[in-house]
Structure 1
Amino acid sequence: MPVAVPELGTFNHVPETKEQLDWAELVTVDLSQLGTPEGKRQQADILISAVREKGFFYVKNFNISQERVDRQFAMGKSFYELPLEEKSKYTPQGLDQGQFNGYVPAGRRFIDQENKIKDKIEIYNIPKFNGDFTHNHPAVITERLAEVEEFARALHTEVLDPLFVLLAIALELPEDYFTKIHQYPVKSEDHLRYMKYSRYPPEINSQLKNWTGGHTDLGSFTLLFRQPVAALQIRYPSTNEWKWVKPQDATITVNACDALQFLTAGYVKSTVHRVTVPPKDQQHVDRLGLLYFSRPHNDIKLVTIQDSPVLKREGYTENEFEKSGNPVPTMEEFTFAKQKWQRTKSSAVNKEHATATILPGFKEQVYA
């Protein structure tokens, strides 16, 4: 007889830190202002300034209730409460070759080689619901799969599409320029993610510099729902200073990623960020994240956009691949090359791995 799936119940976020941290000064894009050309222009200016100067920004008034968001956090929490044996049934074959949908267990990397401390990061990725992907999930998710799909699709219509319109306006392109290459029905490697950073005991935290090193995301925009456990930091491109990202009520934190940097030849910056050791008053709790990773269609070549008057005026006409004379990859080729690098079982502090060539013409680098 099948075991009944328990009710999700209410998800309670932990209190914010009381420590005084060096918070980043980030702007907010207000999606309620897009009803007029003037409002769109104003918000487009805010967005382009953010993705050029800081890389991260907040979005508010995105028409998705906190109740719906908390339901997703509750699903993530329920998933991570399953026994490891059950979760491991959903680990994809070919994880070391770059496959990433499903469960990625913790402990695949040393984050401190000297003290032999491994990561405590678990990931569960849910791909698009467009007929291109198989959906095989534990009952806690399968029983509510329609709700997960509705949430993922809403992120496109209510958040991503408006942001892509604003980006197009900022680059003096047709408003549908980016939405055309980020359509939900078309195959791309977008995914919703439940992500858990399990706590370390104080004596281990005292030995660690960070829980994850500095890195960039590989897609277009990453959406990060409010996470009260302070640990996310960004590196300012202008000064290389690391700043904490403050959780803001009723917002999504957004960062620009590699694909947009390639498409704009570096005009849009792929944000360098890391997850560091939380402040002491939050080190006793686990950190649960809810994220969405947006990527262009798999068949899109990551060539510099030639139709933007802004990029032409500013001299952003060639990206790394084009300058090197190497073939320019499609989004699919770049995704799986970088995912293979990310998923390789190795030390995250191994410099040879940290600076590996992802594809001819593009090397990773260390962000201290």
Structure 2
Amino acid sequence: MPTKSYFEKLPPFPNDVPVAKLPRISFAKLLDNETEESEALFSATRKLGFFMLDFQDCAEGQSFLEKSETMFEINKKICEMDIGDLAQYAYHPPHSLFGYKKLGDIKIKDGRPDRLTFYNISQDDMTGIAKPMSHPPCVESHRADVWDFMNQAHSIIELICSHLDTQLRLPLGTLASMQPMSLPSGTALRLLQYPPQPESDRRTSLLGHTDIRTLTILFNLTGGFQILLPGRDATDNSAWMYVKPEPGYAIINLGDAMVEWSGGILRSNMHRVTFAPGEQSKLPRYSLAYLVRPDGDAPMKRLGGEGSLIPQAEGGGEEDTMTAREREVHKSIAIQSGKDNARSRGGIEI
């Protein structure tokens, strides 16, 4: 999450709330290509599909934390805008995944509306691959800052992928080649806000789901984000554990594409958002997520080859013949209607 000084502006996360114990991985050690840290990363991506990435021990990490704070400031400015003014930037899934999503557009599992708003900024827009989109002034005036954040975020994703290539015994650059910044994709920076919930009606804000994409870098300031414990039933509320936001860390998780490409070795774990605990529940909840999607034409079939750890498909067939673009449309329609039927996937023994 952003720096400690940013956290000090908010009520603390309660000490008496049980939290998930996510593995902690050092960004500095990954940069230094330390073998033990690479192996710890691989273990985390297989067993849980989530880990905390520590950016505090090097200049590159501190720079990224400072960039994330600028993104939070843009988020707050968007949320201060009149809803009528934001309507002109509305997104229209599945045809357009970028722009403003108003409160209640997505259904949760029981059919009730969600409790969040967000603004999606297309990476293709920022890089110039796609035709420039129209944004609110608070975004347009910070195009250079958004690009700087995305550019460094993508380099972090490439670093993670390089270590996974090594651990999966794939040629270096294999996973990164499926999601380059130079080709059109649905990759986006998502700026989210969850209004405070009334004490008499607190519930899930965003339904339990896995991510369709490859990897996500998530920054939260207050609680509310939860993961489903492995092997537990998603209908059991006690199986969902809060992830405590901490200064200097980002939450990293793998999406469904990584499960497909790795033949089930890597894990995509269910997660959701509910109300924040303690005094934090009285405040609007802000977060930001860098959501990496594959190149639209990338196949979803498993990777592999001679010497790879990735097993061949049973019977010589493939589990998924869709392209990334086809998968995105299929799942976005399901999520919009509350019929995602998500489940944690992957993490097979090797």
Which category of TM-score, normalised to the shorter sequence, fits these structures?
0.7 to 0.9
Change (3 A) 1:146 1:222: same
3-state SS in 1 of match to 2:299: coil
Indicate which of 212, 224, 232 corresponds to 1:231.
Answer: 224
Task: State how far apart, in whole Å, the 2-side matches of 1:49 and 1:203 are.
Answer: 41
Distance (whole Å) between structure 1 residues aligned to residue 81 and residue 8 of structure 2: 19
Aligned-residue Cα RMSD (Å) equals 2.5
Separation in 2, partners of 1:257, 1:366: 10
Tell me, yes or no, if structure 1 residue 192 matches structure 2 residue 189: yes
Call closer, same or farther: CA 1:33–1:330 in 2, change over 3 Å.
same
Taking the aligned partners of 1:13 and 1:262, their CA distance within structure 2 comes to 41
1:28/1:59 contact within 8 Å kept? yes
One-letter amino acid of the counterpart of residue 289, structure 1: S
Superposed, 1:118-197 pairs within 5 Å as 118-128=113-123, 129-133=126-130, 134-157=132-155, 159-197=156-194
Q: 1:22-37, aligned counterparts within 5 Å? A: 22-34=18-30, 36=32
Answer yes or no: is the 8 Å Cα contact 1:11–1:73 preserved in 2.
Answer: no
Residue 348 (structure 2) aligns with: none
Q: How far does the alpha carbon of each residue in 1:56-106 deviate from its partner, in whole angstroms, 9 at most, with x for none?
A: 1011235334332111100000001100011111013xx243521111111
Alpha-carbon distance in 1 for matches of 2:168, 2:306 = 6
Q: 1:117 to 1:297 in 2, by over 3 A?
A: closer
CA deviation after TM superposition for structure 1 residue 124, in Å: 0.5
Structure 2 letter corresponding to 1:252: A
| 1:331 Cα offset (Å) | 0.9
Matched, 1:220 2:217: no
**Which one-letter code corresponds to 2:276 in the other structure?**
P
Structure-2 separation of matches of 1:277 and 1:300: 36
Asked if 1:341 corresponds to 2:334, the answer is: yes
Task: Tell me the amino acid that sits aligned with residue 54 of structure 2.
Answer: K
Query: What's the % identity of the aligned pairs?
Result: 24
Q: Which stretch has the larger CA shift, 171-180 or 255-264?
A: 171-180
Residue identity in the other structure for 1:23: V
**For 2:201, what is the secondary structure of its paired residue?**
helix
Measure the CA separation in 1 of the matches of 2:73 and 2:54. 22
- Deviations for 1:184-215, whole angstroms, at most 9, x for unmatched residues? 1221111001011111211121xx3x222210
Distance, in Å, in 2 between the alignment partners of 1:308 and 1:276 is 44
Among 26, 34, 46, the residue aligned to 1:52? 46
Alpha-carbon separation, structure 1, partners of 2:31 and 2:115: 44
Alpha-carbon separation, structure 1, partners of 2:93 and 2:69: 32
Residue in structure 2 matched with residue 361 of structure 1 by the alignment: none
Of 291-300 and 302-311, deviating more is 302-311
Aligned to 1:97, the other structure's residue is in SS state coil
For structure 2, list consecutive stretches of 5 or more residues without a partner in the other structure: 1-5, 234-238, 346-350
Question: Which amino acid is 1:102 matched to?
Answer: G
User: Hey, what's the Cα distance between the residues in 2 that align with 1:330 and 1:306?
Assistant: 17
Contact 1:218–1:259 (CA<8 Å) still a contact in 2? yes
Give yes or no for contact 1:297–1:331 (8 Å, CA) kept in 2. yes
Give per-residue Cα distances to partners, 1:39-63, cap 9 Å, x unaligned.
0x22221111111111110112353
Change over 3 Å in CA distance of 1:53–1:143 after alignment to 2: same
Does the Cα contact within 8 Å between 1:220 and 1:295 map onto a contact in 2? yes
**Superposed displacement of residue 280, structure 1:** 3.4
* 1:263 CA displacement: 0.6
TM-score, normalisation: structure 1: 0.81
- When residues 110 and 239 of structure 1 are mapped into structure 2, their CA distance, relative to the original with a 3 A threshold, is closer
Report Cα offsets for 1:211-236 as digits up to 9, x if no partner. Answer: 222100111111101x2321111112
1:135 positional shift: 2.4
Structure with greater contact order relative to length (CA < 8 Å, sep ≥ 6): 2
Going from structure 1 to structure 2, the CA distance change for 1:109 and 1:334 (only over 3 Å counts) comes to closer
- What is aligned with 1:201? 198
Cα offset, 1:248, TM superposition:
1.9
CA distance in 2, matches of 1:29, 1:86: 42
Q: Do 1:354 and 1:366's aligned partners in 2 also have CA atoms closer than 8 Å?
A: no
Partner of 1:4: none
> Which amino acid letter does the alignment assign opposite residue 140 of structure 2?
T
Structure 1 residues 19 and 163: alpha-carbon distance in aligned structure 2, compared to 1, 3 A threshold: same
The TM-score normalised by the length of structure 2 is 0.85
Once the two structures are superposed, residues 20-41 of structure 1 have per-residue CA deviations (whole angstroms, 9 ceiling, x without a partner) of: 122111112212124555x0x2
8 Å Cα contact 1:17/1:230 also seen in 2: yes
